[in-house]
A and B are shown apart, each in its own frame.
Chain A
Amino acid sequence: MEILRFDVVVIGGGPAGLAAIKKASDNLAYRTALIERDDYLGGILKQCIHDGFGLVKYQKLMAGPEYAQKEIDALKDKINITYFMKTFVFSITNIGDEYVIECVNTKGGYRIFAKKIIFATGCRERSAKQILIPGTNPSGVMTAGKAQFYVNKLGYLPGKNFVILGSGDIGLIMARRIALEGGKVLGVYEVRKTPSGLRRNIEQCLNDFNIPLYLSTTVTRLIGEDRLEAIEIMSLDQNGKYIEVSKKIIPCDALILSVGLIPENELAESLNVKLSPTTNGIMVDQDFRSVSHPNIFACGNSVHVFDLVDYCSKSGEIAGNAASNEIKECDYIDVNAGNLIRYVIPNKINLKSNINSVMFNFRSIDDYGNKILRIKQGNTLIIEKALKEVKCADCQKYNLDLTKFNLDKTPITVSLEDK
């Protein structure tokens, strides 16, 4: 068994973790390590063989593996990074001012002492059970990521006649993928009134393949014992109530779910790191430092579900950069989700941070059309901006330059309002 010591340990080798380790290891006095549970770096990007990645960071559209490779290549010359591949973290505990990470791989067990930890642990997909679809429990019901693994990595189609629930980008892309591989996609069902995926994906993944999209309709029951034989669907009225007469049985043998992602923060939670009750994400300041644990950082989808990988990478850079510096004290202002806002990142602003421009990421509770974004401190308006077609599926951004404002410690509120 090996006992090792590092200044910074990044947990998770997806896009956020790769960016974080790159920046953290810029401090050459630091010994850093990256722990990845798979046998490759790049995380979920490696199975996202469609394009659509990199427009913001590299000004060019790439497939997932290509984007991942660029990020991996950027670490080539780094000499102060130790990689633990196919290594699984069993536990993290806090002893004194250090964290003790117990992990294993096929070579043995490791007890790793770390001064700082960056969580880049990503998300897991919400399952059929978590959205409370009743009925039977047959095979053929799977999350989009699982379907993607079967098709793109094992090279098998997990069914003949597919229905897709959820019109997020992953759902749309899987619809196209299945159609390209010769599976029949009967339709994409979306419980909301508007699709959640990007317009270009609706065009390229559904319309180009004549795959119908059914809005305000959802799966209400699974039918079939060993294998899925059919689903029951129902439409919802304006108020989100089921329309009983719309009930229909659709024969199919596969149901792919793209119904949301949950930040996977069980390790952080075991250290009592503060999580958002709304998103399950680690609560952070503008440095992506945990608001409860100054030597813990978080980036990528373990903070909240970013809509583009480019922004995941960005969050990793900020976290890695902050972790590579010695900590100054924290002087926090709360950031609250105001009217019509589901959540805002960062959860606090540190007035002592080196970062003077704060990127607010926020999502609305529902779809609202045109609204005014107002960021206020107490009753003082800091900024206002007109937003067009506000949709809860879109992650809105606003960059606030702190040097232009004289902030006190009154909480800041981000809200959507009418004129």
Chain B
Amino acid sequence: MSKINKVNSILSSFPYTLTCKERDNIIFLTGEVNTYEEKLAIGEKIAKLKAYEHVVNDIAVKGLTIPETRYNKNVDSKELDGLHCDVLVIGGGVIGCAILRELSRYNFHSILVEKENDVALHASSRNDGNIHPGIDLHSNTLKLKYLNMARDMWPSLAKELGFRYVKTGQVLTFEDHKLIFNLFVRFKAKTNHVNNINYYNQEQFKQIEPNIDNPKIQGGILFNDAAQVSPYEVTIAFAENAITNGAKIYLDTFVKEMKVENNQIKEVITNKGTIYPKLVINAAGTFSEDVAKMADDHFFSIHPRKGTDLILDKKVFTKYAKHTLGLKHLSDARAKTKGGGTIVTVDGNFLLGPDAYETPFKEDFSTEKKSIMEILNRQKGLFKNIGPKDIITYFSGTRACTYEEDFIIQQGKWTKNIIHAAGIQSPGLSCSPAIGREVAKLTATLLNDTRLQSNFNPRREAPIDFASLTLEEKDKLIKENPNYGEIICRCEKISKQEIINAIHRPLPVNSTDAIKRRTRAGMGRCQGGFCGPQVLKILAEEKKLDYSNVSKKGNKPVLDRKSK
């Protein structure tokens, strides 16, 4: 049976009029079905044939309306109108910012546009910060290729860019099929080039994780190289270093359309005017399909996969676990996610999750009680005593999955002056340094200009972490600047000066949540109950704004008007 006949036979097994079309080894699907689940199932079945490079699933779902993409409509600036640049990166997530930082090594005029009013607002902050060992990845995937490139980049990058990188180690545990797990890991470790693995039996496992109270656990496999970073800290570090080296980041900037002629993007029309880039980089996350469409280069589809994470009080970690942990069952092998686990974040919180389920809504970051309770209950296999009282917050994010479940990192298929860094899902964060480097290299090749900036500064000063200093060091800093002696966030112990420092770093800070991501003020157990108003006050004063013009996130202020 020919490829197209196989596709048609899948389509005809559904009770709808569905059609397909082939172009340059891409299969395009159209028609209408009743449910989103059916649309997904069709896309997945056809991708499983592995007959085509990509599936573009344009099948409509009856009655389903996708809300308009959110962006700041109140912007009336035309500051970017007429701007010519060498490279325009679309999307300020960890991928876009990693690329921008690597581009800033070169002699290019590079800019990045982000529709939100800070970087790292979608998947790059709605993320568990895990640097994966990569044991579960399929060979011959870009995921594995970039992970193997990135693994050794992290420690030196962390030093260079002043972000925290903690080698927590990750332990896979199991209640049954010990032999199968061990054999599987030994086999995959070889093919995937994963080193530094320890295999523990039941007794040895008890010694490395004495607080785990599950007699059924037969053993554990420790991946020593698994690590943790803070995903938004990394993104901000990339962004700030790029700016230091001359790149520009424009926030609240939304790409609306593109003018493409003769397979070249000529104009990129934004809410702040028309930009004329020589080359465009698509790092738009769940919106990378939309960008590809605008660029007349629509050769893949993204289906968002939502997940929720829970953050537990810092106190809980000290009571419970030493490593990142996951309790696995053989049945997980067929599931779409690794099933989640428990993670000790770089800040010392315990993080549980994530789960995974499909949604048609790219920007649906809402949470469900059912998810929260399921994630909590799933970890009861490891920690009996974990309960709702330990939760301090929870959040959801959406992963940008293609039907092929792999990254797309390449020049445009039909449009020549675009590079896609699309379909980035787990382990996207882990791979980001390598993706940044490779995309920048490809850019230099395509622009036929590999000259490097002579004065590139790879270093970014880490912000001062006042709480971690000794009392003597604290005293010394306070004598230099008394604002260090005023503690604003009680739970996370953040001083006024650290907040002021965050406001005046290279990337502008526009909301109290932006301060939270940079300093942790408001991220503790009271969730900003005490410090929220203080942070708002400091932000207003530093930016010379009225209190009623400060927002928590987005562009709607926290305060309405002066009281009577």
Q: List the interface of chain A (C-beta within 8 A of B).
A: 1, 37, 86, 88, 90, 102, 104-109, 111, 124-125, 127, 129-130, 132, 134-140, 142-143, 145-146, 149-151, 153-160, 180-183, 221, 225-227, 253, 266, 269
CA distance A184 to B36 in the complex (A): 41
Asked whether B475 lies within 8 Å of A182 as measured between CB atoms, the reply is no
Query: Could you give 9 example pairs across A and B, Cβ below 8 Å?
Result: A88-B493, A139-B551, A143-B529, A156-B548, A157-B559, A157-B560, A157-B562, A225-B70, A226-B554
CA distance A180 to B372 in the complex (A): 38
Nearest neighbor of B467 in chain A, beta-carbon distance: A90
Residues of A within 8 A of B537 (CB): 154
A142 CA / B395 CA spacing, docked (Å): 17
A180 near B493: Cβ-Cβ < 8 Å: no
Smallest CB separation, A186 vs chain B (Å) = 15
Q: Which of A107, A132, A269 has the most CB of B within 10 A?
A: A132
A104-B475, A156-B547 known; A150+B487 contact, CB < 8 A: no
Q: B467 and A156: CB pair below 8 A?
A: no
Known contacts A90-B493, A146-B532, A156-B548: A132-B561 contact under CB 8 Å: no
The verdict on A269 contacting B392 (CB below 8 Å), with A139-B556, A150-B559, A156-B560 known, is no
A143 contact set on B, CB distance < 8 A: 529
The segment out of B139-147, B235-243, B294-302, B362-370 that lies at the interface is B362-370
Nearest residue, chain A, Cβ from B311: A129
* Contact partners of B367 in chain A: CB under 8 A: 134-135
Are A266 and B315 touching (Cβ within 8 A)?
yes
By a CB distance below 8 angstroms, the chain B residues around A146 are: 528-530, 532-533
Evaluate contact between B560 and A129: CB separation under 8 angstroms. Answer: no
- Residue from B363, B389, B490 within 8 A of A37 (CB atoms): B490
Within the complex, the shortest CB–CB distance from A279 to chain B, in Å, comes to: 12
B329 part of interface (Cβ distance < 8 Å): no
Cβ contact within 8 Å between B529 and A140? no
**Could you tell me if A140 and B564 are in contact, using CB atoms closer than 8 angstroms?**
no
Assuming the contacts A107-B482, A127-B529, asked whether A181 and B315 have C-beta atoms less than 8 A apart, the reply is: no
The answer to whether A156 touches B529, judged by C-beta atoms less than 8 angstroms apart, is no
Measured CA separation A335–B478 after assembly (Å): 47
Complex contacts, A37 vs chain B, CB 8 Å: 487, 490
Residue of A nearest to B70 (CB): A225
B554 pairs with A106, CB closer than 8 A: no
In the complex the two chains form, what is the Cα distance from A149 to B559 in whole Å?
12
Closest chain B CB from A129 CB (angstroms): 5
Give the 10 A-B residue pairs with the shortest CB-CB distance, closest first.
A226-B554, A109-B475, A139-B552, A227-B556, A88-B487, A106-B482, A106-B485, A1-B475, A156-B559, A181-B563
Write the chain A residue with the least CB distance to B313: A266
B533: which of A86, A127, A154 is its contact (CB, 8 Å)? A154
Complex contact A134–B563 (CB within 8 A): no
Report yes or no: A124 in contact with B533, Cβ–Cβ below 8 A. no
Contact of B474 among A104, A130, A132 (CB under 8 A): A104
Name the CB-closest residue of B to A226. Answer: B554
Residue B384 is within 8 A (CB to CB) of chain A in the complex? no
Among A105, A140, A150, the most chain B Cβ lie within 10 Å of the Cβ of A150
Q: Are B478 and A104 in contact (CB under 8 A)?
A: yes
> Could you give, for residues 518-529 of chain B, a 1 whenever the CB lies within 8 Å of some chain A CB and a 0 otherwise?
000000011111
- If A111-B471, A130-B391, A134-B369 touch, whether A154 touches B559 (CB-CB below 8 Å) is yes
Interface range, B side: 35 or more
Which of A88, A127, A134 counts the most chain B CB atoms within 10 A? Answer: A134
Q: A130–B390 Cα gap in the complex (Å)? A: 8
Check B482 against A134 for contact (C-beta < 8 Å).
no
On chain A, the residues within 8 Å of B479 by CB distance are 108
Identify the interface centre among B475, B493, B547: most chain A CB within 10 Å of its CB.
B475
Q: Which of A88, A107, A130 has the most CB of B within 10 A?
A: A130
Q: Is A107 a contact of B478 with CB atoms below 8 Å? A: yes
Question: B560: which A residues are within 8 A, CB to CB?
Answer: 156-160, 183, 253
A189 vs B529: C-alpha distance when bound (angstroms): 21
15 further A-B contacts with Cβ under 8 Å, apart from A107-B478, A139-B556, A156-B548, are A88-B490, A90-B467, A134-B367, A137-B395, A139-B552, A140-B558, A146-B529, A146-B532, A153-B533, A155-B562, A157-B560, A158-B558, A221-B366, A226-B555, A226-B556
Asked if B349 is an interface residue, CB under 8 A from chain A, the answer is no
User: Within the assembled complex, what's the spacing in Å between the Cα atoms of A104 and B557?
Assistant: 33
A1 with B556, Cβ < 8 A, contacts A124-B529, A146-B532 known: no
Complex formed: what's the CA distance from A107 to B556 in Å? Answer: 37
Decide if B529 touches A130 in the complex (CB within 8 Å).
no
Complex CA distance for A309 and B369, rounded to whole angstroms: 36
Known: A102-B471, A132-B388. A156 touches B478 (CB 8 A): no
A104 touches B485 (CB 8 A): yes
A182–B483 CA distance with the chains assembled, in angstroms: 36
Q: Does B486 contact A (CB under 8 A)?
A: yes
Which residues of chain A have C-beta atoms less than 8 A from B52's C-beta? none
A42 → chain B, closest Cβ, in Å? 16
A182 B563 Cβ-Cβ under 8 A = yes
Q: How far is the CB of B481 from chain A (nearest CB, A)?
A: 9
B315 and A269: CB pair below 8 A?
Answer: yes
Contact B529 A139, beta carbon cutoff 8 Å: no
B24, CB-defined interface residue at 8 Å: no
Contact B563 A157 (CB under 8 A): yes
With CB as the reference atom, state the residue of chain B lying closest to A141: B552
Docked CA distance A143–B315 (Å): 23
How many Å lie between the Cα of A37 and that of B530 in the bound state? 12
Q: A253 vs B560: C-alpha distance in the bound complex, in angstroms?
A: 10
Confirm or deny: B206 has a beta carbon within 8 angstroms of a beta carbon on chain A: no
Of residues A125, A156, A158, which shows the largest number of chain B Cβ atoms within 10 Å of its Cβ? A156
- Least CB distance, B487 to chain A, in whole angstroms: 4
CB distance from B192 to the nearest CB of A (A): 37
CB distance from B174 to the nearest CB of A (A): 30
Q: Which of B482-502 contact A (CB under 8 A)?
A: 482-487, 490, 493
Q: Which chain B residues border A1 with CB–CB below 8 Å?
A: 471-472, 475
Set of chain B residues within 8 Å of A111, measured between Cβ atoms: 471
8 Å CB contact of B526 from A105, A124, A227: A124
Q: Is B471 within 8 A of A132, CB to CB?
A: no
Is there contact, CB below 8 Å, between B478 and A108?
yes
The interface residues of chain A lying within 8 Å CB-to-CB of B563 are 151, 155-157, 181-182
Residue from the set B372, B482, B483, B558 with the largest chain A CB neighbour count within 10 Å? B558
Contacting pair A105 B365 (CB below 8 A):
no
For A227, the closest partner residue in chain B by CB is B556
**Interface membership of B394, Cβ < 8 A:** yes
Q: Are A109 and B478 in contact (CB under 8 A)?
A: yes
Q: Is the CB of B369 within 8 A of A132?
A: yes
Given contacts A104-B475, A134-B367, contact A226 B553 (CB under 8 A): yes
List the B side residues contacting A221 at CB < 8 Å. 366
B529 near A125 with CB under 8 A, answer yes
- Residues of chain B within 8 A (CB-CB) of A181 are 563-564
Chain B residues near A156: list those with CB within 8 A.
Answer: 547-548, 559-563
| A125 surroundings in chain B (CB, below 8 A) | 526, 529
A140 contacts which chain B residues (CB < 8 A)? 558
Chain B residue nearest to A151 in the complex (CB): B563
Among residues of B, the one whose C-beta sits closest to the C-beta of A109 is B475
A105 touches B485 (CB 8 A): yes
A180 touches B564 (CB 8 A): yes
For A178, the closest partner residue in chain B by CB is B563
B393 near A: Cβ within 8 Å?
Answer: yes
Bound Cα distance A25, B558 (Å):
44
B530 touching A124, Cβ below 8 Å: yes
Cβ–Cβ < 8 Å partners of B490 in chain A: 37, 88
Complex CA distance for A16 and B551, rounded to whole angstroms: 35
The answer to whether B365 touches A137, judged by C-beta atoms less than 8 angstroms apart, is yes
**Once the chains are docked, how many angstroms separate the CA of A107 from the CA of B493?**
17
Cα A108 to Cα B552 in complex, Å, equals 31
State A136–B393 Cα separation when bound (angstroms).
12
Query: Is there contact, CB below 8 Å, between A227 and B530?
Result: no
* CB-nearest residue of chain A to B472: A1
State whether A134 touches B366 (Cβ < 8 A). Answer: yes
B-chain residues with CB within 8 Å of residue A157 when the two chains form the complex: 559-563
Cross-chain contact A129 with B527 (CB below 8 angstroms): yes
